Amino acid sequence: MSHLLKKRKLDKNVQENLYFDSYSDVTIHEEMIADHVRTNTYRTAILRSSDSIRGRVVLDVGAGTGVLSMFCVQAGAKKVYAVEACSIAEQAVKIVKQNQMDDRIEVIRGTVETIDLPVEGVDVIVSEWMGYALLHESMLNSVLYARDKWLKPGGLMLPSKAELYISPINDLVVEDRLNFWCTVKDQYGIDMSPMSEFAKKCIMNNDIAINLVTVEDVLSHPSRLAELDLHTVTPEQVASVRGTFSCECFGSAAVNALCIWFTVSFPGDDKPLVLSTSPFKPETHWKQAVLYLDSPRDVMQDTKVVGEIHMYPSEESARHICIHVECAIGEHKKQSKTFSIPDGYSEAQQ
């Protein structure tokens, strides 16, 4: 094996260790449990699926503190295998015992790709695998591995579907930051307008910004980019998610960014239960993914914003996503730009 290949393998191991280590701290688990939209939607979905869970065997992929596993016991699960790769598994064992569920929940330390289950198959797979923009640092590939190896025919996936959406936005905060440098002269008698172009390069860069987008900033109805059926989607399809979009603007404004968010759906008798990270819905810890365009464009009522999106893993880390955008606004020339989430972003949020 060449030195370069060894280095790449080491880098991958380091990246995996950093990823799992980030889940060993209390902060990220506090943030997830405190996210009422996330936690309550999962609890509601699991309890609503009690007819499919009662007396059955469940696999919880990336169990963390074990909260989803315990929801499954509340729904009547006979046995839950809670698989968790990082050291938070030690806390999950204590929490499970504290709630007197250790006779039905077995916490297994390791990744689903490396552990063995004491059963040949499971009836249900539950996992909260979603990352920023759905796929950044997500565990979806591990969920699909578990599905293909252990889920019985006709088994239940929770959630069962994921969808990506996009809309053009006018980020007023960014506009104010860029205009700030032109106001300094009026306050202090110093013309700092040359900073405006530098500020634009720093702020409207190639980073995927994870921000809360207000409803007032959204300039159109959402356009659906992609749909993933968790029962059938393959790792190869997840590694290259493509979609087209077409939006018509509500009124006069300047489009300076695109906003991406996701939903996941849980099956139901009447209609699915949806966990949404839309700016039109209550806030979640996922917020929204914002892609700043190099050249903002003025739009009017019914101006079309059309384009294509390609989401794929970064060459540096398979867990990190890149988003390539081709976008045309009205009659203006098409813009092309590739975005990624900067290294260390997840750690910086803790």
Give the model confidence (pLDDT) of 213-230 as tens digits.
Answer: 999 999 999 999 999 999
> Which strand ranges, in their side-by-side order, compose the sheet holding 79-84?
105-109, 79-84, 57-61, 122-126, 151-158
Instruction: Point out the catalytic residue in the list 128, 197, 227, 308.
Output: 128
Paired sense of beta strands 273-276 and 79-84, if any: unpaired
pLDDT at 250 over 50: yes
pLDDT average, residue stretch 200-207: 92
Q: Among this protein's residues, is 248 annotated catalytic?
A: no
pLDDT at 347 over 80: no
pLDDT at 343 over 90: no
Helix (H, G, I), strand (E, B) or coil at 290: strand
State the pLDDT confidence band at 268, using cuts at 50, 70 and 90. Answer: confident
pLDDT at 208 over 80: yes
Tokens of 283: 């806030």
Select the more confidently predicted residue: 318 or 31: 31
Q: What is the pLDDT of residue 48?
A: 96
DSSP summary character for residue 131: B
DSSP summary character for residue 176: H
Q: pLDDT, tens digit, for every residue of 163-189? A: 999 999 999 888 899 899 999 999 999
State the pLDDT confidence band at 23, using cuts at 50, 70 and 90. Answer: low
pLDDT average, residue stretch 290-304: 95
pTM over 0.75? The answer is: yes
State the pLDDT confidence band at 35, using cuts at 50, 70 and 90. Answer: very high
Q: Among this protein's residues, is 128 annotated catalytic?
A: yes
pLDDT at 9 over 50: no
> For a pLDDT cut of 70, what percent of the chain falls above it?
91
DSSP summary character for residue 217: G
Burial of 264 (0-12, 13-18, 19+ CB in 10 A): buried
pLDDT average, residue stretch 66-83: 98
Instruction: Point out the catalytic residue in the list 137, 216, 308, 347.
Output: 137
At a CB cut-off of 8 Å and minimum separation 6, what does 178 contact?
196, 199, 200, 203
